[in-house]
Structure 1
Amino acid sequence: MARDSVRGVQVAGLANIVGRNLTGFQGAGLLNVLGGTATGWQAAGLFNVAIRPVSGAQTAGLFNYVGPAKKAPQPTDSENTDAKMLPGRPTMQAAGLFNVALGEVRGAQAAGLFNVGGTVRGVQVAGLLNIADSVAGVSIAPLNFVRRGYHRFEVINTESWPVSASLKLGGSPSFYTFFTGAYDGFGNRDRRWGLGYGVGTEVFARRRLSFSLDAVAMHVNEESRGWTEDLNLHNQLRLLVGFAPLKAGGRLRLVAGPTVSVLVTQRYDTERAQVYSSLLQNRSLWLDEGSASTRVLGWVGYSVGVRL
């Protein structure tokens, strides 16, 4: 334990505690706790805690925490009294469970479960969830919630599904993930519905025009009741051209483009006495491979809809 600051190296079998700042390296079997800022590296078997920003790296078996920067003093009462945060520092956090960095992150966060950051200028990678105020970079996880990020709702019609809806979330248009659902059962047609997950990127966006590329996989349910137990996976690659009809750069966009579908199915149709899916009706197949138990089929189609 050092009540003031440490310059150099601090190594312990259990824990290191520093009252103020660290310049150098901290290594502990269990935990490191720092009451101020750090310039260097904290490494612990369980967790690292720094009350103020870290310029360097934190690596831990469980979690890392970095607090916000101090607020800049207010010059005079007559001037702007809004408190401003001091500039962030380069930070790399890697943990088995989660990372939390309040304020600005300049670097990377990687965790097995989730990351929490303020303004992230770099990359967030998590096994489950990323949370941030804003991201100038990429957030990669099954779920990404960025307050000032990319949030879009899209409804489209395709050759396979009369209606399909997707909720797209990401730190920026350069990479986003989305949940999607589709339904077909209007009129006298056999009912089917699908649920899936996808990833995408907006490769081009200028004024009224944009181009995005989405890849999605949906499990298709075709039984009259409940869930189709057999493998019945509809994979689709979509190239969507977007046009903003109301104003340049507007959120409302009309989207359309070609799609390539690949269906992998083991669903046995008792009426046809073969492996079959109703998605194949009236399709011109460019791919038809497989065995008596599994079929892989491909076709080309279209997508057209609206994005909000």
Structure 2
Amino acid sequence: IGGLLNISGESSSGVHLAGLANIAGESFNGITTSGLLNIVGQSLRGIQISGLGNITGEDMHGMQISGLGNVVGGSFTGAQLAPMNMAKSGKGLQIGLFNYYKENFDGFQLGLVNANPDTKVQLMLFGGNTTKLNVGARFKNKLFYTILGGGTHYLDFSDKFSASLFYRAGLELPLYKQLFISGDLGFQHIENFKNKDYGFPARLYALQARVNLEYRLTDRLGIFVTGGYGGSRYYNKGVTYDKGVILEGGVVLFKY
């Protein structure tokens, strides 16, 4: 137990508790908990819990929990729970905002963005009847994808500036040759800025469902049309502000 640091130059087993950091130069078996960092130079069997980050240089069998990020230099069997999780390979569970593995992974990733060397990052440019002009980044794996992006003019172009940020997650399946169908669910945060001075709510959120048809013209260019339904609601009261059909269309750029 250390107020600031615990340092073990070689392998150790047991429990390390520190206010700042725990460092094991070689392997560690047991539980290591700190306010900032836990570092194991070689393999870990056990649990790492920290306020900022956990790093295991080689293989891990167990669990990493941190406030910012977990890193395993080799393979892990178990779970990583943090906003950012990274591993060379693994078998188990990654839960966070951003999850990444470099090689093989046998398990489940749950996050806003799940990435691996086969993940294709694509640029989407589209317009529609909700937010009028939109740009998004699509992180596409074999079947599943997530989209992060933003759009302008949730209100009409004749009104003052309004904008939104959105997140969508969905599944894509082939229909015929270069034609694909996909469906996703999304969350949208809407800011109306100075429009609040003219009777509009300052901010809203929307829940949306979409079905998309996409045709791949080349290996680097596709076009799509979207139909869906959504509704925007107030954050501070359980009342619907607006709801209706969603119609969108646009292009997808970069390699499929």
TM-score (structure 2 length as normaliser): 0.70
State the shift of 1:95 in Å.
2.2
The 5-angstrom pairing of residues 179-258 of structure 1 reads 179-183=149-153, 189-190=158-159, 192-204=161-173, 208=178, 209-221=180-192, 223=194, 230-233=201-204, 235-246=206-217, 250=219, 252-258=221-227
Residue 78 of structure 1 corresponds to none
User: Which residue type is aligned with residue 19 of structure 1?
Assistant: E
Query: Cα 1:227–1:148, aligned 2, differ >3 Å: closer, same or farther?
Result: farther
Residue 33 of structure 2 corresponds to 44
Deviations 1:154-175 (A, max 9, x none): 1222223443221234787635
Task: Kindly indicate whether residue 250 of structure 2 is the aligned counterpart of residue 305 of structure 1.
Answer: yes
**Where does structure 1 lack aligned partners over 5 or more consecutive residues?**
1-11, 69-87, 267-288
User: Which residue type is aligned with residue 216 of structure 2?
Assistant: P
Residue 149 of structure 1 corresponds to 119
Counterparts of 1:145 and 1:245, CA distance in 2: 22
User: Which residue type is aligned with residue 44 of structure 1?
Assistant: T
User: Is the 1:135–1:171 contact (alpha carbons within 8 Å) kept by the matching residues of 2?
Assistant: no
**Where does structure 2 lack aligned partners over 5 or more consecutive residues?**
none
- Report the secondary structure of 1:29's partner residue: strand
Residue 28 of structure 1 corresponds to 16
User: Is the 2:210–2:229 contact (alpha carbons within 8 Å) kept by the matching residues of 1?
Assistant: no
User: Is the 1:200–1:214 contact (alpha carbons within 8 Å) kept by the matching residues of 2?
Assistant: yes
User: Which residue type is aligned with residue 299 of structure 1?
Assistant: G
Equivalent position to 2:230, from 251, 261, 264: 261
Query: Cα 1:114–1:243, aligned 2, differ >3 Å: closer, same or farther?
Result: closer
Counterparts of 2:52 and 2:194, CA distance in 1: 44
State the shift of 1:61 in Å.
4.6
User: Is the 1:44–1:60 contact (alpha carbons within 8 Å) kept by the matching residues of 2?
Assistant: yes
Counterparts of 2:223 and 2:196, CA distance in 1: 35
User: Is the 2:154–2:190 contact (alpha carbons within 8 Å) kept by the matching residues of 1?
Assistant: no
Q: Could you say what the CA RMSD is over the residues aligned between the two structures, in angstroms?
A: 4.1
Counterparts of 1:199 and 1:227, CA distance in 2: 30
Count of residue correspondences: 243
User: Is the 1:32–1:42 contact (alpha carbons within 8 Å) kept by the matching residues of 2?
Assistant: no
User: Which residue type is aligned with residue 157 of structure 1?
Assistant: G
Counterparts of 2:74 and 2:86, CA distance in 1: 10
Equivalent position to 1:110, from 81, 98, 104: 81
Query: Cα 1:67–1:34, aligned 2, differ >3 Å: closer, same or farther?
Result: same
Structure number with bigger Rg = 1
State the shift of 1:60 in Å.
3.5
Task: Kindly indicate whether residue 49 of structure 2 is the aligned counterpart of residue 59 of structure 1.
Answer: yes
Query: Cα 1:105–1:164, aligned 2, differ >3 Å: closer, same or farther?
Result: same
- Report the secondary structure of 2:162's partner residue: strand
Counterparts of 1:135 and 1:258, CA distance in 2: 36
Counterparts of 2:197 and 2:174, CA distance in 1: 41
User: Which residue type is aligned with residue 129 of structure 2?
Assistant: E
User: Which residue type is aligned with residue 8 of structure 2?
Assistant: I
Counterparts of 1:92 and 1:227, CA distance in 2: 52
User: Is the 1:91–1:107 contact (alpha carbons within 8 Å) kept by the matching residues of 2?
Assistant: yes
User: Is the 1:234–1:261 contact (alpha carbons within 8 Å) kept by the matching residues of 2?
Assistant: no
State the shift of 1:35 in Å.
2.6
Counting strand residues as a fraction of each chain, which structure ranks higher? 2
User: Is the 2:24–2:39 contact (alpha carbons within 8 Å) kept by the matching residues of 1?
Assistant: yes
Equivalent position to 1:125, from 74, 90, 95: 95
Equivalent position to 1:100, from 42, 60, 71: 71
Counterparts of 2:184 and 2:217, CA distance in 1: 23
Counterparts of 1:240 and 1:118, CA distance in 2: 35
Counterparts of 1:261 and 1:178, CA distance in 2: 17
